[in-house]
Amino acid sequence: MTATTSAGIRFHHGSLVTSAGAVHTTPLGYDRDSVPIGARLPLAASDELVHRLSECGVIEVSFEGKLGDTLLALSGVRAALDWLRLRSVRVAVRAVGPYKKLITRAGLVTRPQATPSSGQRAVIGDRFGIETHGAEAAVSLVFDPAAPPCWSSDDRAYPDLPARHYLALERRLGIRLPSSAPFVPSLATGPNEFVEELRSAGWLSSLTIAAITATSWPERKDYTAQRYIELAEHIAEARQTQTRLLLIGGNPAGGIHVTAQAPRRHVRVLRLDGVPADHLADLFSRCHLVVGNDTGLTHLAAMTRSQNGGCPPVVTLYARHSHSKWRTGLPHHHAVATDLSDRMHQGDLCPVRDSIAPDTVIHMDAFPPAALSRLCLDLLNGTR
C-alpha cells in the first residue's frame, strides 16, 4: 500500500511488492520462481569463487563499518551459508569484530557436524572487516552497499539491500538458493537485565514508543527529540492513553546515560543514550511502535523478534535517500518518504553517490508530527 498524506509525504507499506516496470532494475537473467531450489542457474558461475569457497573449513564473518550497512548485509552471509549447506560442505562459522553478538543473534554462527575437511579460511564482511581479518584467507567476500543493483525477475523488483546482496551472491555461485523475500535474517531476543530494570520502573507498562534520535548525519537526518515528543503527544491524545516515549540516542563510547524528562499530560519521556545495540535489540521487541530516521538502530529494530515471534511496526523516515533500498524488506518495516526519496527509489539513485542535489533544501521537517501521527495510529490500530 502506498498513500499520499495531506502533508505531501508518502507512506509505503512494508508488504508492498514493487513491479519491475515501475523502477529502474537489472534483470536477474532467470525466472527465479520457476527454478527449483538447488538447481543450476542458466548463468555461468564464478568457478574460482566456487572452488575456493568449497575448500574452506572455517568462515569468519567480519564487519567493522556502519551498523546499518552491516545489518543489511547479513543476507549475503546467509546466502553463502545456504550455498554451503546445499553443497553439504561442513564449516565452522564464527563472528569477529564489534558486531559479533548481533551476528550470533541472527543465527549465522554455527559449528560443523564433523571436523572440517580443510583448515582454509574464508572471510565475509565489509571492506574494513576484510582489511582487518582477511590476511592469508583463501577467499574474501566483500559486501559493499553501493555495488549490487536493484534486481528484477518475473516482473518483480527486489529493491531492498538485503535482497540485492542475497541475489548477487546467488548469481555468482550459480545455484538457486533456498531463501525467498524477505531475505534479511531476524535477530533473536530474550531476557535482558537492562530491559527488566526499565520494565520494573514502569517504562514498559503502557503504550510504549521508541524513537531513534541517533544518526551519523544529524544535520540531515535528525528528526529531533521535540518532534518525536509532539508525535507521541498526538498519538496519546488520539488514543486517550498514557504513553511512554523512549528517545534512543547514540554515543555508546560514553557509557549508558538514562535521563527522565518532565512528564507531559499523557506522555512520559525517557532519554536513553549510549545503550549498546545488543541491549536495544531486546528492548525494541518490547515496544508497541518504533519510529526512526534512516539509520542502523532503526534497521536493528525492524530485524528484532520477540521470543513468541512478534515484532512491533517500524516506521522509517526518508528525506533524501531511496526508501526502498535502505530498508530490510520485512513486511512490518514501513517507510514515510518525500518526493525526492521516491525519485531516488524509482531511478535506483543515490544523492551522494550520483551527486544529485535536491531542487530545494530538504530536511526532516518535511514530516510534520501531526501527519506522521495519523499514519502511526493506523498502524497501531491495525487499519493500515
Task: Report the DSSP pairing between strands 289-293 and 207-212.
Answer: parallel
pLDDT of residue 279: 94
Please give the share of the chain, as a percent, with pLDDT higher than 90. Answer: 81
What the block records as the C-alpha cell of 67 is: 551498523
Q: Which residue has the higher pLDDT, 128 or 253?
A: 128
Q: Measured in Å, how far apart are the chain's first and last C-alpha atoms?
A: 8
* In contact, 25 and 350? CB cutoff 8 Å: no
Q: How far apart are CA 384 and CA 377, in angstroms?
A: 9
pTM above 0.85, yes or no: yes
pLDDT band at 359 (very low <50, low <70, confident <90, very high): low
For 133, residues 6+ apart whose C-beta sits below 8 A from its C-beta are 60, 62, 96, 97, 123, 125
Residue 226's CB is within 10 A of a number of other CB atoms, namely 9
Average pLDDT over residues 128-134: 94
For 116, residues 6+ apart whose C-beta sits below 8 A from its C-beta are 56, 57, 58, 90, 91, 92
Residue 21's CB is within 10 A of a number of other CB atoms, namely 9
pLDDT of residue 237: 96
Which residues on neighbouring strands pair with residue 336, listed in sequence order?
11, 317
Residues of the chain with CATH 3.40.50.2000: 2-14+189-381
pLDDT band at 267 (very low <50, low <70, confident <90, very high): very high
User: How high is the mean pLDDT of the chain?
Assistant: 92
CATH class of 2-14+189-381: alpha beta
